[in-house]
Amino acid sequence: MNRPWLLWIPLAVVAFIGGLAMYGLAVPKDEQVHSAMIAQNLPAFSLPAATAGVEGLASGDMADGKPRLLNIFASWCLPCKAEAPYLEALKKAGIEIDAIAIRDRPEDVAAFLNEFGNPFRRIGSDSEMAVQLKLGSSGVPETYVIGGDGTILYQHIGDIRAEHVPMLIEKVNAAK
Amino acid sequence: MRMLALICLMLATPVFAQGSGPTPALANRQLPDPAQEAAATNLMHSLRCIQCQGQSIADSDAHMASTMRAEVRQQIAAGQKPEAIRGWMIARYGEWVSFEPDMKGAGLLLWFTPLLVLIAGIWLARGLFRRGA
C-alpha cells in the first residue's frame, strides 16, 4: 500500500454519517410548516360573514393603512379557546384583529364568541379552507401580522400565550 | 354503565375536532377529461399533505389534502401546467410541500450524491483491480 492514508477514508465517511445521526437526534425537530408568504401581499379573497352580527372579511379590508393581526381560528379547535384571553388582551392594547373561521358553522361560531368574547373586528368564513391554503397556513390557530398596505409581515404558528402578547404588540406597532 | 361509557366515547372531542365545513366539490370528483385527470392525479402523488406530513395529498383523507386536491384539479381544468401548480404550492409552503426536490441548492446535493458516491467507490476500488491484474 503506497498510500496508507487512503485506509482512513472509509472510517472518516462512517464517522461523518454517525455524527450526522447524533446531530439529528440532538436537534429538536421543527414539525411546523411555515408559510412562504411572508413579505408578500395578502392573496386576494373575499369571505362571507362567519356568523350573524359580525361582517365578513375580504383581503381589501386589511389594506386600509392600519397594521393589524389576522387570526386563523375555529370554534372546534381547543388551543383557539386557550388563546382567547390573550387575543382579548391584544385588543385591549389597541390592536385591531380580523379573523378567518375554518370549517365552521355560524351557530358554532356564535356560541364560541358568546363563551369566550369577541376580540375580532371582522370574521370571514372559510368553510372549504381555500383561503387558508392561499395563505400558506397549515392549521389552527395561527396569527399573522398584516402591514397597513396588506403585506404579510409575520406568522405565529400555534396558540398565542402570555409570553407572545408583548412580541405581537411590538410587531404591529413596528409596522405603523 | 357500559352504555354510558359508549355515549361518553361518542361525545368525545375528537369526534368533533375536524370542524364541519363541506368537502370541496373537486376533492374527490374526477375531471371529465381523462388526460387532465391523469395529469392532476400524477401531480397529487408528488405533493405532500400539510396536515398528515408523511402522505401525499392523493393518499390522504385529511381536510387540508381535500382542499389541496380540489385546488390542483381546478387549476388543471383552467389549463394550468402541473409544474406551475407545483410552483404555486411551493410559493405558499416552501420546497417542503413537494416530494420531488428541485435541482438546486440542497436538492442538487440530493440528486447528485449517489453519482458522487459511485465515482468515489470506483476510485477507491481502482487500486484493487490494478493489483489483481
User: Does B67 contact A33 at a Cβ distance shorter than 8 Å?
Assistant: no
pLDDT at B18 (0 to 100)? 61
* pLDDT of residue A160 exceeding 80: yes
Residue A79 in contact with residue A86, Cβ under 8 Å?
no
CB < 8 Å to A108, chain B = 20
Q: Which of A6, A36, A126 sits opposite B93 (nearest CB)?
A: A36
Burial class (CB in 10 A: 0-12, 13-18, 19+), A17: exposed
Instruction: State pTM to two decimals.
Output: 0.81
Q: Which three cell numbers stand for residue A22?
A: 447524533
Q: How much is the ipTM here?
A: 0.84
Superfamily for domain range B24-100: Cytochrome C biogenesis protein (1.10.8.640)
- A92-103 burial code (b ≥16 CB/10 A, e <16): eeebbbbbbbbb
CATH architecture under which domain A46-174 falls: 3-Layer(aba) Sandwich (3.40)
Q: Which three cell numbers stand for residue B12?
A: 368525545
Considering chain A, what percentage of its residues have pLDDT values greater than 70? 99
pLDDT in tens, A53-110: 999 999 999 999 999 999 999 999 999 999 999 999 999 999 999 999 999 999 999 9
User: Does B63 contact A103 at a Cβ distance shorter than 8 Å?
Assistant: yes
Of the CA atoms within 13 Å of residue A68, those in its CB half-sphere come to: 23
Q: Residues B104-128: what's their mean pLDDT?
A: 86
B123 in A contact zone (CB under 8 Å): no
DSSP character for A4? G
Residue B44 in contact with residue B67, Cβ under 8 Å?
no
pLDDT at B16 (0 to 100)? 47
pLDDT in tens, A110-127: 999 999 999 999 999 999
Kindly list the domain boundaries of chain B, sorted by start residue: 24-100, 103-133
Kindly list the domain boundaries of chain A, sorted by start residue: 46-174
pLDDT at A79 (0 to 100)? 95
Of the CA atoms within 13 Å of residue B14, those in its CB half-sphere come to: 3
Integer Cα distance of B105 and B47 in angstroms: 19
Q: Which three cell numbers stand for residue A61?
A: 379590508
